[in-house]
Amino acid sequence: DSSPFAAVILDGDGAVFNNELLAKGHEGGVEAAHMLLSNIKNQLKNIYPKSNIDDWSIVCQIAMSLPGLGKKLTEVGLISSIAQLADFVHGFNYSQPLFSIVDVGKGNQRADGKCREMARLMARVKQCKHLFFGPCQDLGYIPALQGLRDPFGSSQRLTLVECLPALPGFRELQLPFTRFTVFRSESLPNVAPRAQTLPPPPAPPQQRSTSELSVNTQSRPSVSSPAPGDVASPTGGAPVNAKPTSYAAMSKTGAVPNSTISIAPTKPPVRKFYLVNKDYERVDKPLPNVDPAAEKRYFARRKVEGSYCNEHYLKGTCDPNYCKHVHGPPLPKPDLVVIQHKARSLPCINESHCDDVDCYYGHHCKYGRHCTNGECRFSNLHYVDTNPAIRVYEDGTEEAV
């Protein structure tokens, strides 16, 4: 048959990529796609030694709840933020034209139907010479797999992918199993590993005797002699090297520090928020215009130093030990605006349903339905209403715009 291909359909709730790949963000996604492609081709060459596998196309679809997985990976300390997972997904999807990680949204069991229907579709396509399906952690897939064996003609054209050990019901199907090295072979931890490396709490202050803590309120304040190592000032005041008087010290001596305490009202902290339209779809806040001179500086530096880390410059949360992008001192505001525009040009994995108040990715096309770019990354979001109607604050409260 012309145009032969093999298909890989995975439920991403059970097929989780290895830690070291996820930690690399975009670069890790690119690496994962290349490694998975190599794994698949090697498997096919073993199964079909007389076929020219290099002429086959490889289609891979991984369906998962990216918000759910991102939250879990962040909680256990395997990624610094959901944005890091978004970088990984972008790298994976853009690296291989027929590879896709598909977000099924929030909620359990949403990946099931997508995986089952895609497998049934592949079973009816004659050009699909082999199907890899997995992982084997949901017994609800067993009836669908039983029905897939006949359309494929023989069980050898259907291989189950095992990440965690397969549940017993899958073994009873008597289908061949395989593993791909890019996926974890053990469950995610329940506790963040980094929690074990926190420094011990500071030792409590030494308790003083009752006589040291007592204060004679009848006595007049007196000037005490300086402690050893302190030098008295020429005017007979406090020692030159003495530490500033604290409230704790004042409670011990009864002396009032000679300092001014401001009673001016402090400004409340700025509350972070994101915008949504009347349909509760995310609307991006306008960004300042790019300064051409700053943009020229940015690209000149990037050519020499490499790509700048979005997490570091836009959030200040990236650990440089696990990221190969550029991390440096704060940039001038015009240069930072250039990075904001570059990040905004990449679609968020949660699209218009994103509720991350710090998300710096794009959630719709800035040109909307008037976009003329045939290869626009936001083509499925051209009809989002970009008129903001509600501010949603990070604590969940809302306010009309």
SS3 9: strand
Strands 158-161 and 177-178, sheet pairing: parallel
Q: Are 315 and 358 within 8 A, CB to CB? A: yes
Max mean pLDDT range (150-154, 245-249, 384-388): 384-388
Taking the C-alpha atoms of 193, 194, 195 and 199 in order, what is their torsion angle to the nearest 10 degrees?
A: 140
Q: What is the pLDDT of residues 57-78, one digit of tens each?
A: 999 999 988 888 888 898 888 9
pLDDT at residue 215 tops 70: no
How many helices (DSSP H) and strands (DSSP E) are in the chain? 12, 10
CB 81 within 8 A of CB 25: no
pLDDT bin (cut points 50, 70, 90) of residue 398 is confident
Residue 139: the pLDDT is: 83
Does the pLDDT at position 239 exceed 70? Answer: no
How many Å apart are CA 205 and CA 213, to the nearest integer? 14
pLDDT of 315 higher than 80? yes
Tallying the residues shown for the chain, one arrives at 401
Q: How far is CA 88 from CA 234, 306, 343, 348, 357, in A?
A: 65, 18, 14, 12, 20
| Radius of gyration in angstroms for the set of CA atoms belonging to the chain, rounded to a whole number | 30
396/19: higher pLDDT: 19
pLDDT tens figures, 17-63: 999 999 999 999 999 999 999 999 999 999 999 999 999 999 999 99
The Cα 68–Cα 104 span in angstroms is 10
CA distance 179 to 302: 39
> How many CA atoms within 13 Å lie on the side-chain side of 357?
11
66-75, 131-140, 143-152, 366-375: which has the minimum mean pLDDT?
143-152
Q: Are 6 and 132 in contact (CB under 8 A)?
A: yes
What average pLDDT does the segment 147-167 reach?
77
The β-bridge relationship of strands 177-178 and 273-276 is unpaired
Q: Look at 133-147, 215-229, 387-401 and tell me which has the smallest mean pLDDT.
A: 215-229
pLDDT band, residue 389 (cuts 50/70/90) = very high
| Cα distances (Å, whole numbers) of residue 103 to 36, 68, 107, 346 | 19, 10, 11, 16
The larger pLDDT score, comparing residue 268 to residue 337, is at 337
Written as six digits, the tokens of 14 are 């059970």
In whole angstroms, give the CA distance from residue 364 to residue 346: 10
Q: Tell me: cis bond preceding 135? Omega within 30 of 0 counts.
A: yes
Average pLDDT, the chain: 80
Structure tokens at 136: 């084997």
Q: Is the pLDDT of residue 160 over 90?
A: yes
pLDDT in tens, 171-212: 888 889 999 999 999 888 876 554 444 455 555 554 444 443
Q: Is the pTM above the cut of 0.85? A: no
Q: Please state the domain extents for the chain.
A: 5-188, 273-400
At 41 the pLDDT is: 96
Note the pLDDT of residue 63. Answer: 93
Give strand pairing partners of 391: 275, 399
Q: Show Cβ contacts of residue 383 under 8 Å, excluding neighbours closer than 6 positions.
A: 368, 369
Alpha-carbon distances of 140 from 113, 131, 145, 164, 321, rounded to whole Å: 10, 18, 10, 16, 41
| Segment 259-267 mean pLDDT | 57
Residue-level pLDDT at 109 = 59
The distance from CA 272 to its chain's CA centroid, rounded to whole angstroms, is: 19
Give the model confidence (pLDDT) of 340-351 as tens digits: 999 999 999 888
Which residue, among 164, 109, 156, has the nearest Cα to 135 in the 3D structure?
A: 164
Whether 246 shows a pLDDT value over 60: the answer reads: no
**Could you give the count of Cα atoms lying within 13 Å of 4 in the half-sphere of its Cβ?**
12
5-188 in CATH: which number?
3.40.50
What values do phi and psi take at 279, rounded to 5?
A: -95, 10
